[in-house]
Amino acid sequence: MSNSIIEVEGLSKSYILQHEQQEKYVALRDVITNNVRNFFKGIVAKNAVSNNRAEEFWALQDVSFNIKQGDRVGVIGRNGAGKSTLLKILSRITEPTRGEVRIKGRVASLLEVGTGFHPELTGRENVFLNGAILGMSRAEIKSKFDEIVAFAEVEKFLDTPVKRYSSGMYVRLAFAVAAHLEPEILVVDEVLAVGDAQFQKKCLGKMEDVSKNEGRTVLFVSHSMPTITSLCNKGILLERGKTKYIGATSEAVMQYYSSGIASPTHIIYKEQEKRPGDNYVRLMAAGVLVNDATTDVEIDIRQSITLFLEFEVISKSALTFNPFFYLLTADGITVLIANPPSEQNSCKEVGIYKVKAIIPANYLNEGTYFVNMGVNSLSSGVQVHFYEQNLLSFNIKDPIQGVPTRLEGYSGIIPGVVRPLFNWTIHKI
């Protein structure tokens, strides 16, 4: 076996879907008529006809990859791409139809709320049960017990049956158990989304810690691209059960967006009741423009970028509405916060407003960026009418090595968030 901790070759998984055909409506008079007709004709009705139709569905098709010890792998793709099926096979919850999976070491998985917990047992008993399933002795589990309880923050409910836990409590304890009982491989689906933001951040920090400092391998499924990019050093992009890309996380995220799986550069809310906002302001549209036209997510570093926000003031008031946007890197670092100067802001009357902000060419460095947009107003305090996070996304790319936008003599990835072209003067004195 190679130095890979997980090897997947030609993995495929199919399910048989049953479709029940609707029976034609039969009135009472039709039943009487048919029975009389059959009586006289001596025909016996054959009612044992199956109304079911089976269809084979391939959740995964010929998936192959290797993962090394200590890798933090983000598995991304739209709903139905096969992410959860892949993790269930790696966690040995379900068997593949074809292909082979070779795994070194113990696997702890957190795929669904309550997975691996016995509802009738207490939190304390479930900690020991999960440790035993992972092959740990009682002494080993006891040595980690206090650390698990402190991380999960469920001290008061340790001796309560977990069937009485909220979904958030379930997740806190389940993750604490999975992360602290020292499995070689930690598999986490998007179940963390159930927890609060502070606990999610705590979990992400723990996953990074066990990978970087303890050499354990993490497989993580999420629809949050900033989270995937900040946590993972490798990405697997699945599309319709097949591997579309395996490699660098930033490239996987870029392909996820640019392949048409999502449309993060242009959003239109057509149905009024679904528009984010309140009784004063509603979001109508937002987008990223290059040369006044919508674009794909890969933008040449030498092009300027226009961010636009379209909103409707639907209620008359004395308020002045202030549009703003946050620009963030893929790992969640805020690049800048911007809003138009007050002397240019005339968003007061009822009506539709379109706001544009231009980011100059050769300003942002290569990488993936996310845009949060919102509208607020000032009265007795700040009132936020809507604030949409990760509303838009785009990718800056330097297509040609050696052009003036590059740092001369610098090879590899250029660090930093911005990379502007300064006006230089050089003279001998």
244 in any annotated domain: yes
pLDDT, tens digit, 9 for 90 and up, residues 74-108: 998 877 888 888 988 888 888 888 888 898 888 87
CATH code where residue 72 lies = 3.40.50.300
Taking the CA atoms of 235, 105, 88 and 135 in sequence, report the sign of the dihedral they define: negative
DSSP assignments along 177-216, one per residue: HHHHS--SEEEE-GGGGGS-HHHHHHHHHHHHHHHHTT--
pLDDT, tens digit, 9 for 90 and up, residues 336-356: 999 998 888 888 899 999 999
Chain-wide mean pLDDT for the chain?
80
Clarify whether residues 385 and 364 are in a common domain.
yes
Clarify whether residues 64 and 50 are in a common domain.
no
10 Å CB burial of residue 380 (0-12, 13-18, 19+) is exposed
Clarify whether residues 155 and 183 are in a common domain.
yes
For the ranges 42-51, 227-236, 242-251, which has the lowest average pLDDT? 42-51
- Domain range spanning residue 366? 266-397
Tell whether the model's pLDDT for residue 51 goes beyond 60. Answer: no
407 in any annotated domain: no
CATH code where residue 296 lies = 2.70.50.60
More confident residue, 277 or 111: 277
* Portion of the chain with pLDDT greater than 90, in percent: 17
More confident residue, 271 or 1: 271
Clarify whether residues 111 and 143 are in a common domain.
yes
Tell whether the model's pLDDT for residue 10 goes beyond 70. Answer: yes
More confident residue, 228 or 310: 310
Clarify whether residues 47 and 85 are in a common domain.
no
pLDDT at 236: 92
Domain end position, chosen among 207, 242, 258: 258
More confident residue, 270 or 400: 270
Tell whether the model's pLDDT for residue 18 goes beyond 80. Answer: no
Task: Answer yes or no: pTM beyond 0.75.
Answer: no
C-alpha distance from residue 343 to each of 198, 340, 348, 353 (Å) = 38, 8, 13, 16
* Portion of the chain with pLDDT greater than 70, in percent: 81
Tell whether the model's pLDDT for residue 427 goes beyond 50. Answer: yes
- Helix (H) or strand (E) run with residue 35 in it: helix 28-41
Q: In this structure, what token pair is assigned to residue 35? A: 């029975």
Distance CA 3, CA 18 (A): 42
pLDDT at 411: 55
User: What angle do helix axes 197-212 and 167-180 make, rounded to 10 degrees?
Assistant: 10
* Per-residue pLDDT band at 193 (split at 50, 70, 90): low
- Helix (H) or strand (E) run with residue 108 in it: strand 107-110
Distance CA 59, CA 83 (A): 9
Tell whether the model's pLDDT for residue 249 goes beyond 80. Answer: yes
Distance CA 238, CA 11 (A): 13
The domain total for the chain is: 3
pLDDT, tens digit, 9 for 90 and up, residues 141-191: 888 888 888 888 888 888 888 888 887 787 788 888 877 877 788 888 776
Clarify whether residues 207 and 64 are in a common domain.
yes
Clarify whether residues 42 and 149 are in a common domain.
no
Contact 112, 273 (CB under 8 A): no
